[in-house]
Chains A and B, each alone.
Chain A
């Protein structure tokens, strides 16, 4: 297994080197350029700007994770991947690591590059350090509200897992298809949640007699989020293993 994994890593690193470098170059280059551009106009990277950057890169992350199985889009790419004498688990694990560790690291590096380039440009042109304290992602995962932290993390994980699964299940236009499905599911859940909350408020279920705390509901939500993510990630593997030339077309 380790030997096979090493072979697949070697193959992927050789064959995808150009694409990987280009993607990294674009993300880092755009971040760096944006930092300089804002600095030229003496616009320091404050919370709002960096938050905007985070939102944009979040969509980028979702897009990139849904494109990890992009070679399955065409018949030629599909044959090449399926005929490769590598176990599906190796192909899968590499993409899982890239999607859930590699891409966020790249985005985080871009984030620092944006901030650093901005600070430096302002110093060079306007001769002062804006001294903006970079927004620490870890702040949103504060120790005081572990549950809130896990709810946010869990939600992110569900969305990313859905895009990862979508990449295998619908290789063609997987980002759009997965986005569409997520939107439909969100709408359905919102409606259901509203109805359930109304029913609870009106005490239809007679829940007020039960001692259900907000914390308990929160942790149940966290458990649902993490188990959904795990299910999607595992399903993606089984989908990949059972893939044929025509499935998901």
Chain B
């Protein structure tokens, strides 16, 4: 379990980025970490990984302080940053060099995931496009079977089939012991695989709910009816009508969560006081 308590962090003395931030994530969940630009998502990720040290507060993963960055802890955490650099070797060599650090590394799973991404382990990493590199790196990250996997903007640079393959590889690799955090702005790429959503801004966590819980309280629909849109909790102007979020009542059915609408509902100023 990931347990963040009263976390505060700033890059400069003048402006604090995260203040008294707390959050808990259970194992076996795929969590979407959403927030506006500059909300501190990447910073939070770096703090979770121990790449930055908090000014105050603690981050514990399975009761270990991540700021200590012990080899044992690092062999159970994998970060796929938005931008990364891979060595100029074949994927086979890369696996040979790095898999040894991850005790639960699953070679068969890697082959399976590479297959889904239409790659093979003989590819030379230096000769791949950014999107292909990302696919190879994500496949390796998932095959390491770490308890915590953090993906920062994983679908950036992936083509349409790559995005679909990404959703499939995450679903195929998920176990009860794994916690996956996906930070992204591309909400439509991941909405089908999430089972938990955290929406944050600099003031802290605005929403920390399971998808099931959100579905049991809110209904997300598309409507052309202006009056219905005006009565909704939020209505987003989209071509041909409105994407709306309404309180779920006996009159309407449970729907899939529209992350974009949910995000706007939670982050828009007028609805900040709204309690789910």
Docked Cα-Cα span, A79 to B50, in Å, equals: 10
Docked Cα-Cα span, A10 to B101, in Å, equals: 11
The answer to whether B79 touches A79, judged by C-beta atoms less than 8 angstroms apart, is yes
Nearest Cβ on chain B to A79's Cβ, whole angstroms: 5
Known A-B contacts A4-B71, A14-B89, A14-B96; A75 and B83 likewise in contact (beta carbons under 8 Å): yes
Most A-side CB within 10 Å, residue of B46, B87, B88: B87
| A246: B residues at CB distance < 8 A | 11, 52
Nearest Cβ on chain A to B164's Cβ, whole angstroms: 27
Partner of B83, one of A10, A76, A87: A76
Nearest Cβ on chain B to A12's Cβ, whole angstroms: 8
The answer to whether A14 touches B84, judged by C-beta atoms less than 8 angstroms apart, is no
Docked Cα-Cα span, A83 to B137, in Å, equals: 14
Tell me which residues from 74 to 91 in chain B have a Cβ below 8 Å from any Cβ of chain A.
Answer: 74-75, 77-79, 81, 83-85, 87-89
Partner of B97, one of A15, A75, A77, A87: A15
* Interface magnitude class on chain A: 20 to 34
Task: Please tell me if A214 contacts chain B, counting CB pairs below 8 Å.
Answer: no
Task: Please tell me if B51 contacts chain A, counting CB pairs below 8 Å.
Answer: yes
Partner of A84, one of B46, B88, B101: B101
The answer to whether A244 touches B74, judged by C-beta atoms less than 8 angstroms apart, is no
Q: Considering only CB atoms, which chain B residue lies closest to A241 in the complex?
A: B69
Most A-side CB within 10 Å, residue of B11, B83, B85, B88: B85
Task: Please tell me if A7 contacts chain B, counting CB pairs below 8 Å.
Answer: yes
The answer to whether B79 touches A15, judged by C-beta atoms less than 8 angstroms apart, is no
Task: Please tell me if B98 contacts chain A, counting CB pairs below 8 Å.
Answer: yes
Partner of A87, one of B46, B71, B79, B96: B71
Task: Please tell me if B151 contacts chain A, counting CB pairs below 8 Å.
Answer: no
A212-249: contact bitstring with B at CB < 8 Å (1 yes, 0 no)? 00000000000000000000000000000000111000
Tell me which residues from 69 to 107 in chain A have a Cβ below 8 Å from any Cβ of chain B.
Answer: 74-80, 82-87
Known A-B contacts A85-B71, A244-B51; A80 and B85 likewise in contact (beta carbons under 8 Å): yes
| B93: A residues at CB distance < 8 A | 14-15
| B101: A residues at CB distance < 8 A | 7, 11, 84-86
Q: Considering only CB atoms, which chain B residue lies closest to A77 in the complex?
A: B85
Docked Cα-Cα span, A11 to B71, in Å, equals: 15
| A14: B residues at CB distance < 8 A | 87, 89, 93-94, 96-97
Partner of B87, one of A15, A78, A82, A86: A15
Partner of A245, one of B51, B77, B97: B51
Nearest Cβ on chain A to B43's Cβ, whole angstroms: 9
| A83: B residues at CB distance < 8 A | 49, 51, 74, 77-79
| B186: A residues at CB distance < 8 A | none
The answer to whether B98 touches A11, judged by C-beta atoms less than 8 angstroms apart, is yes
The answer to whether A79 touches B84, judged by C-beta atoms less than 8 angstroms apart, is yes
A13-24: contact bitstring with B at CB < 8 Å (1 yes, 0 no)? 011111000000
Task: Please tell me if B129 contacts chain A, counting CB pairs below 8 Å.
Answer: no
Known A-B contacts A11-B98, A76-B81; A86 and B69 likewise in contact (beta carbons under 8 Å): no
The answer to whether A85 touches B83, judged by C-beta atoms less than 8 angstroms apart, is no
Docked Cα-Cα span, A76 to B80, in Å, equals: 10
A123-156: contact bitstring with B at CB < 8 Å (1 yes, 0 no)? 0000000000000000000000000000000000
B193-206: contact bitstring with A at CB < 8 Å (1 yes, 0 no)? 00000000000000
Docked Cα-Cα span, A17 to B97, in Å, equals: 12
Nearest Cβ on chain B to A11's Cβ, whole angstroms: 4
Task: Please tell me if B53 contacts chain A, counting CB pairs below 8 Å.
Answer: yes
Docked Cα-Cα span, A11 to B94, in Å, equals: 8
Starting from the known contacts A14-B87, A14-B97, 19 additional A-B residue pairs (CB-CB under 8 Å) come to: A7-B100, A10-B96, A15-B87, A15-B97, A16-B87, A75-B83, A78-B51, A79-B81, A80-B85, A82-B50, A83-B51, A83-B74, A83-B79, A84-B74, A84-B98, A85-B73, A87-B71, A246-B11, A246-B52
Write the residues of chain A forming the contact surface with B, with a CB cutoff of 8 angstroms: 4, 7, 10-11, 14-18, 74-80, 82-87, 244-246
Write the residues of chain B forming the contact surface with A, with a CB cutoff of 8 angstroms: 11, 46, 49-53, 69, 71-75, 77-79, 81, 83-85, 87-89, 93-94, 96-98, 100-102
A-B CB proximity, top 5 nearest: A85-B74, A85-B75, A14-B97, A15-B87, A76-B85
Query: Can you give 27 contacting A-B residue pairs, CB < 8 Å?
Result: A11-B97, A11-B100, A14-B89, A14-B96, A15-B89, A15-B94, A18-B89, A74-B85, A76-B84, A78-B51, A79-B79, A80-B84, A82-B69, A83-B49, A83-B51, A83-B74, A83-B78, A84-B98, A85-B71, A85-B72, A85-B73, A85-B75, A85-B101, A85-B102, A86-B101, A245-B52, A246-B11
